[in-house]
Chain A
């Protein structure tokens, strides 16, 4: 098994003992097929047990280990050492307050998820005894991609708007709202539009598209946001120019 000496430069900050963040260099021998997370675990086990970061599944589905790796928002469990040369710089996700070391404060993101009513508001309520709603594969496909978000927050770290305007609901939460809006079983779009078609919603997005580039699950939140903008524009025209179409 091939090994290689890896130099990690990791941001450290403990609010109890540090007045400001600093970088610490670790030099560890790692098998070539390791990911950055493996290297961090190796550091924690053998060099510095005080290093703090979140992780769990090691298969890019739990969304815990988002961090900045060489300046890009990445999942540490899917960032292969072989793709990096020289010193690898590891920092907490951009745009979030640092709780400690690589651990960020996620409160704002979690609150925004809840704000967009990300649950099915049934178009036609149905008792469980009446069986499932029918949904064809084509209907499923209209929203399926937007269900794949693992809430890793990489898109927020990549989004320049979110960096400037913390009130912005942001890519993942908007894509999630759109996911339910697009679901053939759902009738809650009007309720959600109040939240997401607002100033802090889709209209804050300037279509940089970084969110979709960094998304590890190919959710394409930028596409979701543009679709909401179009729908919201159509809503406006219907309401103001063709009021007779209103239900």
Chain B
């Protein structure tokens, strides 16, 4: 197998991977950087983020406010030292992006504009209309082009980590255009592979969000942390799951049931606020978990609007007027008209909660280091524990910048500490084993299982049992089904046995990643016998700090289900309290 020698290999070229690459190139122009991604960088799913990125910038705000909103929003499952680092670094990172040309929306005087966002007590969400993630991604990609030391490997799918003497020593990847495998010998590896929303059938996530980065680390012995916490975004189009940003509500949009009532007031988020004058941290600016749960409750009562794609609530933005909608929410208008045939200027848009984000992921410390020396993780695939049990909207774009950079700095510190050269025989053995596994999958015949069939069963299981509200019984069923699906996965048979851009093979590998992630979600959810943030159990309806103010850790055990362990949350100064999103909170 051909091998490529590099200093740092980055797996994933979305926001976190690009930010890490730039930080590495700036810190030490002599470093060889291999930026490896299964898609061209600008196809990465960061591009689909709409609303914005949170960072304290205005004079009425403070780091302490951002900290408190994040920790309370996360139902106290955030590591508070990590949140401190996030909120401190956030404004610097957002200004850095501004210096790189990001077209942030502006105030009349030319300073950066901010907008209100769910669960945030002050206006601190920087935005570029409703294409914030798109502009962040393209700004980073374009900026990265000026650094010759960043060598890109576009459309390479990483199948394995190489490990020698207990250190991460590189990766093995398939070059899509040739079907050939390549070994990347690296002194450090940063995984920035994104989330796994595609384990669910109804999701805002693009096709590429298949948990590959999570699965890589998990199989190499790094735990997946807090995987039971899956975020539903309250407002997706019922037809396609396309995201309508929380900024719709930040700008003043309201949520109605079929009777025209702003029903969030009936779920602890009232009293009703004046139309068109959104009040921070209450009603429609409550956190995503609470709003999605209120939808579910209201649906149970039969108060939702039936559509051909299932029950929906109505997102009413008519009172914002055409000018404001065009200026602040152009993509939302375009999507609503294209995919639903509804113009938000003239009609309320049907929406329903949709799987959006994984709070959990690869277990790292606050320096982004995993327990495998030489392996770092950042972005949605990582769980640095700033999101806890429920992420606040606009913290994830900030996270991928702050911790993408942090991963680069940590990797450099690691290299400076002296990394012994990996043994040639161990690298060769790792590569050979990866190649043998791939060959077996390519050549297998008579297995009888189909990729599309297994994928569909996985998605249905997750939708049915691991959604907004869960039960022990349902989760136990889901765990059983997923264990069976993982067994059957060993018998899937490819239709396409050729080499060039084989998407049948690619999807089979992605399904393998998804099944591992899905099982970690359901096993962690079954073990957490409490309700906290985005994890709601109908059989354990209260938060249980005595037993579960802890991170879950799913440990990979091959063909067996993962073992679930726990670690205490880092609490520095904010003790668990009541999450109050009623209008009377201040």
Contacts and interface: CB of A to CB of B under 8 A. Distances in A.
Nearest to A147: B103
Contact of A52 (B105, B206, B339, B502): B502
Q: Which of A101, A131, A176 has the most CB of B within 10 A?
A: A131
B42 A62 contact: yes
Contacts of A53: 503
B151 to A, nearest CB: 12
B99 A126 contact: yes
A119 B243 CA distance: 29
Interface stretch (A12-20, A162-170, A205-213, A231-239): A12-20
A153 to B, nearest CB: 11
Given A56-B208, A119-B100, A62 B48 contact: yes
A50 interface: yes
B484 interface: no
Interface string A106-140: 10001001100111101000101101111111011
Given A59-B242, A119-B143, A128-B92, A103 B452 contact: no
A133 B243 contact: no
A62 B338 CA distance: 17
A176 B45 CA distance: 21
Given A49-B495, A50-B495, A58-B240, A137 B206 contact: no
B500 interface: yes
B339 to A, nearest CB: 8
Interface stretch (A22-30, A178-186, A193-201, A219-227): A178-186
B171 to A, nearest CB: 22
Contacts of A133: 98-99
A181 to B, nearest CB: 12
A126 to B, nearest CB: 6
B99 A120 contact: yes
B575 interface: no
Interface stretch (B106-114, B160-168, B212-220, B277-285): B106-114
A144 interface: yes
B496 interface: yes
B297 interface: no
A156 interface: no
Interface stretch (B130-138, B314-322, B460-468, B534-542): B130-138
B101 interface: yes
A59 B243 contact: yes
Given A55-B207, A58-B206, A118-B142, A136 B101 contact: no
A126 B42 CA distance: 27
Interface in A45-64: 45-46, 48-64
Contacts of A51: 503
Given A56-B45, A62-B48, A137 B106 contact: yes
A136 B106 contact: yes
Contact of A128 (B96, B154, B499): B96
Looking at chain A's contact residues, the main secondary structure is: loop
A133 B104 CA distance: 11
Contacts of A101: 501
Interface residues of A, number: 65
Q: Which of B44, B103, B331, B335 has the most CB of A within 10 A?
A: B103
Nearest to B204: A59
A185 B500 contact: no
B343 interface: no
B31 interface: no
Contact of B501 (A48, A59, A99, A186): A99
Contact of B146 (A78, A106, A117): A117
Interface in B306-365: 308, 331, 334-335, 338-339
B43 A63 contact: yes
Interface in B72-111: 92, 95-96, 98-101, 103-106, 108-111
Contact of B500 (A16, A48, A80, A186): A16
Contacts of B569: none
A118 to B, nearest CB: 4
A148 B142 CA distance: 13
A177 B42 CA distance: 17
Interface in B492-541: 494-496, 498-504
Contacts of B503: 44, 51-53
Contact of A56 (B207, B240, B451): B207
B103 A144 contact: yes
Contact of B496 (A49, A54, A135, A180): A49
Interface in B125-150: 131, 134-135, 138, 142-143, 145-146
B305 interface: no
Nearest to A140: B106
Contacts of B101: 119-120, 180, 183, 185-186
Q: Please give me the 4 A-B residue pairs with the lowest Cβ-Cβ distance, nearest first.
A: A134-B110, A120-B101, A56-B206, A50-B496
23 contacts: A45-B452, A49-B450, A56-B207, A57-B47, A57-B206, A57-B207, A58-B240, A59-B335, A60-B338, A64-B39, A99-B501, A110-B154, A113-B145, A118-B145, A120-B99, A132-B98, A132-B99, A133-B98, A134-B109, A143-B103, A151-B40, A180-B101, A185-B101
Interface of B: 39-40, 42-45, 47-48, 92, 95-96, 98-101, 103-106, 108-112, 131, 134-135, 138, 142-143, 145-146, 154, 177, 206-208, 239-240, 242-243, 308, 331, 334-335, 338-339, 450-452, 494-496, 498-504
Given A61-B47, A61-B134, A136-B106, 10 more contacts: A16-B499, A44-B503, A48-B495, A50-B496, A53-B503, A99-B500, A120-B100, A134-B111, A135-B106, A140-B106
